Amino acid sequence: MHTWRRRLKRDKAPIALTIGNFDGIHLGHQAMLVRIKDIAQQFDMHACVMTFEPHPREFFSPDQAPVRLSSLREKMKYLIKTGIDCIHICHFNYDFAKISPEHFITRILNQELSVRWILVGDDFRFGARRAGDLSLLQSLSTANNFTIEVMPSIMVDGQRVSSTAVRQALACGDLSQAEKLLGRPYSISGRVVDGDKLGKQLGYPTANIQLKHNCPPLSGIFAVRVYGATDSSSATSLPGVASLGVRPTTHQNGKPVLEVHLFDFNNEIYGRHLQVDFMHKLRNEVKFADINTLIRQIEKDIAQAKDFFATAPIHSNSLCSAI
């Protein structure tokens, strides 16, 4: 699997390409990845994904952009798991934003990448000011020697699968619906970093997970499964409770923090890269009157999480079996 960034050397091998932000790698994305792999195998091409960093809306309007479901590292991890041959990461900046739709097709897709098959969604837009659409892509396909295929929307329980739908489910604390749309539990990955050791002082030590973005798509107290805390296979998970939010009882700065308390676990894991799967929301964040009240609530949270895990099935941390 190759990862490319712009200023690449032209690869003469023909490419079957799908283009998008792929935030969250939900079931709709997964269906596109399965299809592009099938096309590539059928016509002896390389299966390739083109994505953008940062998200164009983050670049133009960072305060109004939708919250991210996945960091670039998380997105790359999932794409690699699918068996895609190559990932083309376009660094989105002012120069890239000025590229006309025609230039994008003739120079980047045709001349630089040798694209011979393109798979896009029915709402695909591209080029400066999002002026390019499916009609333009189709009109220039013959001259640039590629075939266009449009992927229909994927529906779950009558709802179109989309990153927006996943964000809405997470914001409402509906982890079950988010899991249906993603094909797996929602997760956040990050390295364990030094915290303020408050959890240890309260009798419940926590791992402080580094967040890549300051606006996670969900908040509250959760029952979680954590991968990467042990020396065994990455498929091994440990149950625990996670707090994701601004910790209003003990802090005033309002910066979101992800802290995880693993049950019956005292190993040193600073520096480890963990994946936290959010299995069940226990409650919203609350500002308690004092520390003793907070400690009593933590005890209740742990008891409720253990009750949940006593009956909940163990999930896999991999993508759906279709991939």
Higher per-residue pLDDT: 204 or 218: 218
Q: What is the pLDDT of residues 264-275, one digit of tens each?
A: 998 889 999 999
Which residue ranges does the chain devote to CATH 2.40.30.30?
186-311
- The rounded distance, in Å, linking the Cα atoms of 163 and 172 is 14
| Burial annotation 27-64 (CB, 10 A radius, 16+ → b, else e) | bbbbbbbbbbbebbeeeebbbbbbbbbbbbebbeeeee
Q: What is the pLDDT of residues 1-30, one digit of tens each?
A: 555 554 444 556 899 999 999 999 999 999
User: Poorest-confidence range of 14-23, 122-131, 224-233?
Assistant: 224-233
Q: Which tokens go with 111?
A: 């001349």
Average pLDDT over residues 127-141: 93
- The rounded distance, in Å, linking the Cα atoms of 18 and 48 is 7
Name the phi and psi angles at 201, rounded to 5: -65, -30
pLDDT greater than 50 at residue 225: yes
CATH dotted code for 186-311: 2.40.30.30
- The rounded distance, in Å, linking the Cα atoms of 83 and 67 is 27
- The rounded distance, in Å, linking the Cα atoms of 61 and 45 is 37
Which residue ranges does the chain devote to CATH 3.40.50.620?
2-156
- The rounded distance, in Å, linking the Cα atoms of 321 and 323 is 5
- 101 SS3 class: helix
Read off the amino acid at residue 69: L
Average pLDDT over residues 288-302: 92
Q: Are 101 and 126 in contact (CB under 8 A)?
A: yes
CATH dotted code for 2-156: 3.40.50.620
